[in-house]
Structure 1
Amino acid sequence: MKFISWNIDSLNAALTSDSNRAVLSREVLDTIIGKDPDIIALQETKLPYKGPT
């Protein structure tokens, strides 16, 4: 079983921004998807309960 855990420091920015950091975060997400894990765990403490803004 392949398990990937990532403590991402701004999922909201990664999903909604065009900053350099957001672009890099999306590249990491693409890399994770390319690894074809069985489980992906993302930890994000700042994401609003209603989702990305």
Structure 2
Amino acid sequence: MTQIRAFSKRLKVPVGQMTVKTPMHWRGEQIGREPYTTGPVVFDLDIDFDSPDA
């Protein structure tokens, strides 16, 4: 969202309210008594914003 705002100011394109939805799938694993290790498997990034120029 920071980059969208920065470029909108540079290009003089007004941007209003923004909504970001990011569904993620994570995988966790523990071997024996070691601490868990986790990491993302996949994620999607969906950004919606209002602009009179869109």
Please, what TM-score do these two structures have when normalized by structure 2? Answer: 0.23
Higher Cα Rg, which structure = 2
Question: Going by fraction, where is helix more abundant, 1 or 2?
Answer: 1
More strand by share: 2
